[in-house]
């Protein structure tokens, strides 16, 4: 299959590109490198050093004998998007290429607007290019479990059957996202669903939970094939952050009561889920949703698991929550569709956490404690936010 991976220089896009190449697909790798620009803007960097995309592709070619075609450009540039699809002629597109940090989107007005324009317009350009160039392309789009929020009822996989005043219909599950970033994913989902309905496009929306881990079978083949590992207060996700904090002797930063519960998955399962979606494409005109996570944990439980797996002493701190979110709530979300397609999850155990702690140990000299505190305040975007002029 010819697969175009959008956002292929990122945390998940790069190992996915490698994995799909390894599995015999012809892979095109698209990225604008704007993620590296956010690092410069915020003064942060990946714990694990990462090479330039072209260098990583060259190393992969030397090791595997397999090539990956790079396409450098911005999805917000429609000319670039249309040209890339015409040149590469994909059977499927895996779309990771968005600004993905909730805190970044909550820094101030400029970052919220940037996030929504970057994500929504890039996705729209893609949909129009698919409609014009090839309506058969299967779009596998990375969405997020955070689109649903934390309702006091069970979360379904995309759709819910509702009976209202005696009539019944199956409708999109209600969305209560928790940041302007998460809202951008809701807008994307609506735009994709509409495009499938009017143009007959095929799409799978992968509502993914929080990802943890840094190593995959392919990235482990050579240090220069590594993917990024963020631990800072803006781009670091919770379990990755806790592992780095433990190694650095920094108290684990549980925001508020710590009863926030989230669906989580190992980075290796991200690759497996994307592959399963590609192998089992949506039908013509079909817009389907898979909830892509394997287990759910409260933040407190995650902190306790890290403390338990770490050989040294770990302090678990309660930090004032910079976000507006429920800190104790009901959470039960369906996630059977990928299991039905054959997903065999890598569950979170001590060995997995130990391997993440080992990555953090290996690069402990690169840990910058000054970047750990959260720097975006949901309640007051003007207080601690970055200046709008520093946007990429």
Q: Which residues are catalytic?
A: 144, 181, 185
Please state, in angstroms and rounded to a whole number, the distance separating the CA atoms of residues 353 and 303. 11
Contact 21, 27 (CB under 8 A): yes
Positions that interact with ligand USQ (CB under 6 A): 100-102, 144-146, 182, 209-210, 237-238, 241, 253-255, 260, 262-263, 299, 323, 325
H-helix or E-strand spanning residue 254:
strand 252-255
The first and second tokens of residue 126, run together, are 């893609």
CA-based torsion, 218, 223, 225, 227: positive or negative: positive
Q: CB-wise, 21 or 184, nearer to ligand USQ?
A: 184
CB of 255 to ligand USQ, least distance (A): 3
Please state, in angstroms and rounded to a whole number, the distance separating the CA atoms of residues 240 and 345. 19
Q: Which of these ranges, 7-15, 84-92, 108-116, 372-380, lies near ligand NAD under the rule CB under 6 A?
A: 7-15
> Within the chain, what is the greatest distance between any pair of CA atoms?
64
Residue nearest ligand USQ, CB atom distance: 146
Q: Which residues pair with 291 in a beta bridge?
A: 207
Q: CB-wise, 21 or 188, nearer to ligand USQ?
A: 188
Alpha helices in 138-226 (DSSP H): 180-199
Binding mask 18-47 for ligand NAD (x = CB under 6 A): -------------xxxxx------------
Please state, in angstroms and rounded to a whole number, the distance separating the CA atoms of residues 13 and 51. 14
Regarding 57 and contact with ligand NAD (CB under 6 A), the answer is: no
Residue nearest ligand NAD, CB atom distance: 10
The distance of Cα 172 from the centroid of its chain, to the nearest Å, equals: 21
Regarding 118 and contact with ligand NAD (CB under 6 A), the answer is: yes
Regarding 269 and contact with ligand NAD (CB under 6 A), the answer is: no
260 binds, among ligand USQ, ligand NAD, none (CB under 5 to 8 A by kind): ligand USQ
Please state, in angstroms and rounded to a whole number, the distance separating the CA atoms of residues 256 and 46. 26
325 binds, among ligand NAD, ligand USQ, none (CB under 5 to 8 A by kind): ligand USQ
H-helix or E-strand spanning residue 79:
helix 78-88
Contact 66, 60 (CB under 8 A): yes
Q: Which of these ranges, 97-105, 150-158, 250-258, 316-324, lies near ligand NAD under the rule CB under 6 A?
A: 97-105
CB of 316 to ligand USQ, least distance (A): 11
CB of 297 to ligand NAD, least distance (A): 14
The first and second tokens of residue 15, run together, are 């190992």
**Binding site residues, ligand NAD, CB under 6 A:** 7, 9-13, 31-35, 74-76, 96-100, 118, 122, 142, 144, 208, 210-211, 228, 237
């Amino acid at each position: 299959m010819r697969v175009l991976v959008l956002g292929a220089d990122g945390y998940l896009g790069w190992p996915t590109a490698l994995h799909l190449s390894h599995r015999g697909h012809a892979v095109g790798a698209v990225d604008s490198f704007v993620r590296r620009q956010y690092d410069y803007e915020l003064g942060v960097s990946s714990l694990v050093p990462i090479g330039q995309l072209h260098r990583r592709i060259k190393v992969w070619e030397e090791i595997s004998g397999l090539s990956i075609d790079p396409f450098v450009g911005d999805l917000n540039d429609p000319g670039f998007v249309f040209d890339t699809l015409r040149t590469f002629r994909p059977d499927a597109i895996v779309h990771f290429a968005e600004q993905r940090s909730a805190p970044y989107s909550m820094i101030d007005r400029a970052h919220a607007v940037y996030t929504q324009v970057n994500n929504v317009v890039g996705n729209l350009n893609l949909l129009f290019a698919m409609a014009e160039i090839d309506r058969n392309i299967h779009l596998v789009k990375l969405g997020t479990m955070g689109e649903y929020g934390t309702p006091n009822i069970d979360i379904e996989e995309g759709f819910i059957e509702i009976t209202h005043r005696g009539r019944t219909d199956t409708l999109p599950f209600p969305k209560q996202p928790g940041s302007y970033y998460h809202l951008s994913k809701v807008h994307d989902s609506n735009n994709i669903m509409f495009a499938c309905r009017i143009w007959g496009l095929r799409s799978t929306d992968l509502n993914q939970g929080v990802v943890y881990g840094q190593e995959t079978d392919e990235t482990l083949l050579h240090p220069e094939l590594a993917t990024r590992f963020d631990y800072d207060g803006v781009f670091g996700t919770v379990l990755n952050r806790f592992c780095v904090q433990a190694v650095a002797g920094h108290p684990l930063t549980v925001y508020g009561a710590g009863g926030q519960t989230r669906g989580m998955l190992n980075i290796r399962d991200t690759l497996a889920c994307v592959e399963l979606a590609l192998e089992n494409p949506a039908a013509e005109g079909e817009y389907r949703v898979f909830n892509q996570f394997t287990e759910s944990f409260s933040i407190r439980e995650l902190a306790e698991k890290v403390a338990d797996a770490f050989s040294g002493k770990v302090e678990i701190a309660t930090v004032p929550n910079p976000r507006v979110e429920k800190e104790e709530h009901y959470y039960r979300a369906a996630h059977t569709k990928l299991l039905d397609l054959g997903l065999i999850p890598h569950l979170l155990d001590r060995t997995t956490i130990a391997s993440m702690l080992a990555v953090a140990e290996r690069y402990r000299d690169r840990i910058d404690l000054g970047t750990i505190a959260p720097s975006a305040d949901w309640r007051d975007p003007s207080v601690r936010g970055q200046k709008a002029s520093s946007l990429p």
